[in-house]
Amino acid sequence: LAASKRPSVIYLHGAECTGCSEAVLRTYKPFIDELILDTISLDYHETIMAAAGEAAEDALHKAMNSPDGFILVHEGAIPTIENGNWGMVGGHTMADNLKACAAKAKAIIAMGTCATFGGVQAAKPNPSQAVSVAKYLDRKDVINIAGCPPNPINFVGAVVLYLKGEKIDLDSLNRPKAFFGTSVHDQCERVKFFDEGKFAPSFDSEEAKKGYCLYNLGCRGPETFNNCPKVLFNDTNWPVKAGHPCIGCSEPSFWDSMSPFYVG
């Protein structure tokens, strides 16, 4: 997809942990250097750009006002309490930064569960009254790449589909069906043990080592939609294969609705 004029991407941060950016840096299809040097033009990213202060602000305004337009990626939730003053970047609230960029963006991608559903910020009691990108903007066209963090392959895949002009089918939560259309459970290598009624009694048991199902230890794979078992993280592994239950990180309100994360 290398192009002579690479499409501009503005990547904003709201209330979050930067784990989603860490995930993007570890993309391997393509690697991050190919992604930002050959495929897109990452014109603003608060945590990895070399520029700081006024130079960074200038880069943002230049990208926002480019006649070729830009794709907006937003990581993190939006604190709304006290007019958004609990979250400030460059002298502006995160809410205002998002609103200003969203008004001009050709497409909006919410990156990670904080951005797609509020994430840990919006977990009870949600002291900053944080909300998702789509909820704050009151828009139905935000592409949600859920996960805490999301698999970078799903982010890159969505960007590539958009740049190729392909229709991106979304589920009822605005997640691309290509990545979130099947439950974790239905793709899990331990599902044969689930079907046979063979469940690990504890994380350190011989049964767990043999690959028995982790359902009785709190696994939320049956109610979680994501492609981790097939895509893997860093081409290496995924939580359940490593012996950890799925905690439902790509679902709304998972901090509240999926906990306790460990049972037994």
Using the rule CB under 6 A, give the single segment among 75-83, 85-93, 205-213, 243-251 that binds ligand F3S.
Answer: 243-251
Contact in structure between 115 and 16 (CB atoms under 8 Å): yes
What does 7 interact with, of ligand F3S, ligand SF4, none (CB < 5 to 8 A by kind)?
none
Q: Which is nearer to ligand F3S, 84 or 218 (CB)?
A: 218
Total interface residues for ligand SF4 by CB under 6 A? 27
Radius of gyration of the chain (CA): 19
Which of the residues 119 through 178 are near ligand SF4 (CB under 6 A)? 119-120, 148-149
Distance CA 150, CA 135 (A): 19
- Nearest distance from residue 220's CB to ligand SF4, in Å? 7
Alpha carbons 57 and 67: distance in angstroms, whole number: 18
Of 103-111, 166-174, 194-202, 246-254, which part binds ligand F3S (CB under 6 A)? 246-254
Q: Give min distance, CB of 19 to ligand F3S, in A.
A: 11
CA distances from 241 to 139, 153, 181, 189 (A): 37, 18, 20, 8
Whether the CB-CB separation of 32 and 24 falls below 8 Å is answered with yes
Nearer to ligand SF4, 137 or 191 (CB): 191
Q: Which does 113 bind (CB under 5 to 8 A by kind): ligand SF4, ligand F3S, none?
A: ligand SF4
Q: Which is nearer to ligand SF4, 7 or 112 (CB)?
A: 112
Task: Name the DSSP letter for residue 90.
Answer: T
Cα separations in angstroms, 242 against 11, 46, 80, 210, 232? 31, 32, 38, 12, 11
Residue 57 CB-density burial (10 A; 0-12 exposed, 13-18 middle, 19+ buried): middle
249 binds ligand F3S (CB under 6 A): yes
Q: Which does 239 bind (CB under 5 to 8 A by kind): ligand F3S, ligand SF4, none?
A: ligand F3S
Among residues 152, 190, 251, 255, the one that binds ligand SF4 under rule CB under 6 A: 190
- Whichever of 157 and 239 has its CB closer to ligand F3S, that residue is 239
Alpha helices in the chain (DSSP H): 19-25, 32-34, 53-64, 94-104, 113-117, 133-137, 152-163, 177-180, 184-187, 191-195, 206-210, 228-231, 254-257
Q: Is 112 in the site for ligand SF4 (CB under 6 A)?
A: yes
Question: β-pairing, 92-93 with 88-89?
Answer: antiparallel
Among 1, 17, 100, 161, binds ligand SF4 (CB under 6 A): 17
Instruction: Locate 33 and state its tokens.
Output: 């250097």
Residues 162-201, interacting with ligand F3S (CB under 6 A): 184
Binding residues for ligand SF4, rule: CB under 6 A, are 16-17, 19-20, 75-76, 112-114, 119-120, 148-149, 184-185, 188, 190-191, 194, 213-215, 219, 221-222, 240, 246
Binding residues for ligand F3S, rule: CB under 6 A, are 147, 184, 224, 226, 228, 238-240, 246-250
